Structure 1
Amino acid sequence: MVTLTKKQFSVEKLEDMKAKLRHLDGDSKAYHETSVRYIEEAKAKIYSLRNEIQDLRHEYNEHLDARALKFCFHRFFK
């Protein structure tokens, strides 16, 4: 049977705690990297959707202008 002195036990416990801390530090770094990547993807999607909305508004306004012109043309030159 192996018996540990208090000093050996404390050193062993300290090493174990250091290992756990390194593991947690690695987990937090991975979480941070994942979060940053997710935020970048979300910003890219927002940018894409804003451009799509701008294009759709432009098309809609062109459509309204064309309808207004057609209405005026038919009304005044019937």
Structure 2
Amino acid sequence: INHIVIGSRYRTPCIHGVRVYCLADVCTDHHMSIAKIKIKPKKQNKKLSMTKRFDSSRLKDPTATQSKFETFQS
């Protein structure tokens, strides 16, 4: 009995046909097994970049904006 070893992840959707050929003259009790396998590429997950949000309510506070500009002037 000849076997083709495939993980359970690829078992059902990938194997399309298995054939056993008795042509190989290698003096063993094994036969050549050929399987047609179709593998789909894995979907790539793109990470969404988080946009940096600015707190515009801090601009309305005059003391906060004045303290920032004072550091630039000195």
TM-score (norm 2): 0.32
The structure with the largest helix share of the pair is 1
Larger relative CO (CA 8 A, sep 6+): 1 or 2? 2
The structure with the largest strand share of the pair is 2
TM-score (norm 1): 0.31
